Amino acid sequence: MKTRNHPPLPRRAFNSPTVEFANFKDGTHVNLIRLIKPYANGKSFAVLETTFSPFCKNAMFKDYDKAKRWFEQMVINGTHHAELRNRGLTGN
């Protein structure tokens, strides 16, 4: 059985809209999330991933460009373990 040891994201990330997503055929995914209520330290975006890649991890960012680069890297890393099923923008 595969195990994961990635840092969890705060609850606020799960109550915020997904901006972009990538789903894999093994049922895992990577999401770029825009926080509805940014943190006082400026963190406004989160990347949530559930892949089995040891090179992937969840992260939070202050600006969209850094979050987008991290999202793209997690998608690339995830494709080494499972085939990409679909990806897209949500319009949020």
Kindly list the distances between the CA atom of residue 3 and the CA atoms of 39, 51, 53, 86, in Å, as whole numbers in the listed order. Answer: 30, 10, 10, 24
> Contact, 20 vs 92, CB < 8 A?
no
> Contact, 20 vs 86, CB < 8 A?
no
pLDDT of residue 56: 81
- The pLDDT tens digits for 29-75 are 999 999 998 899 999 999 999 888 877 889 999 999 999 999 999 99
Global pTM value: 0.88
Structure-block tokens of residue 45: 């975006």
Number of Cβ atoms within 10 Å of the Cβ of 76 = 15
For the chain, the domains span: 13-53+60-89
pLDDT of residue 2: 45
